[in-house]
Amino acid sequence: MVNRFRSDRGLVARMVLTVFLLGLLYVAFVGVLIVLLKSAVLVIVFAAALLGAQYWFSDRIALYAMRGRVVERDEYPQLHGVVDRLCAVADMPKPQVAVADMDMPNAFATGRNQDHAVVCVTTGLLRRLEPDELEGVLSHELSHVAHKDVAVITVASFLGVIAGLIVRFAFYSQMFARGRKDQNTLAVFAAVIGVSIAVYAISFVLIRTLSRYRELAADRAGALLTGRPSALASALTKVDGAIARIPTRDLRTAQAFNAFYFTPALGDSPVFQRVFSTHPSLEQRLDQLARISTELGEAAAPGKAG
């Protein structure tokens, strides 16, 4: 086994660039809102409060939304044992271990740093995977924590969240304003909505670009840590196939958190949804794992052959 998670210069460069560009966009966004709404205090306090909440409570929000709960060793000894071994090999603090009671097989990691992180798996994943496949998935998720891209994607997602909230707020405030409407008010709110939509679109593209690369980086780092890329390839194939068989209506709630998942909850989705997916295609991920398998002298990944 490789002694630690290998650093990824490409990932670091992309994270720095994404945060820088989103930071500029965020400052410009707040500046435009201050000019339009003529209330610097309101805009700054609102934006700061949301950013702080997303940064400090991201792990709790994600667990709550996906019905996950932190579990102790006596409840899931095998799961804790795998996380213990991987953290020892990677020389990193052990995150909290959580389980979400849902049939969809998946996993995610969240948290603002290595000391405040959570790795969560679903009961559907635990039921379907073999021990070496589970180890591959968990090594992938732990690499997100080690590379700090979990915190970056959480903060990066904030701008899109606030832009969406402002659009909703402006829309509903106009619905209930009634007699107080005038042309100036309508013009201001139209401008706010237009700017918010533009900001959401730009942040959407930036986050998708970073998210796809970070998933490939996590696959690579996880496969090198365990030395068994074929196990990770097998897990990817199983999970992707199982999700494809889950009714789309049952995946809708989970789709809001696709950027954090091991495999996106797309199911049998239209092609355009897959084009804008947070993850690279299954074929890309399996091709990379097959190359790593060859480099390590391991037998060809079974997930690719299937």
Annotated catalytic residues are: 141
User: Is the dihedral angle over the CA atoms 268, 273, 274, 280 positive or is it negative?
Assistant: negative
Cα 255 to Cα 94: distance, rounded to the nearest angstrom: 27
Q: Is 215 assigned to a binding site?
A: yes
In a 13 Å sphere around the CA of 150, the CA atoms on its Cβ side amount to: 29
Q: Are 220 and 280 in contact (CB under 8 A)?
A: no
Q: Is 80 annotated as a binding residue?
A: no
Q: Cα dihedral sign for 205, 153, 100, 282?
A: positive
What residues contact 285, with CB distance under 8 A and at least 6 apart? 215, 216, 219, 233, 236, 279
Orientation of helix 183-226 relative to helix 131-146, angle to 10°: 130
Judge whether 283 is annotated as a binding position: no
Helix (H, G, I), strand (E, B) or coil at 104: coil
Provide the 10 A C-beta neighbour count for residue 63: 19
- Note the residue count of the chain: 306
Binding-site residues for Zn(2+) sit at 140, 144, 215
Binding-site entries: 140, 144, 215
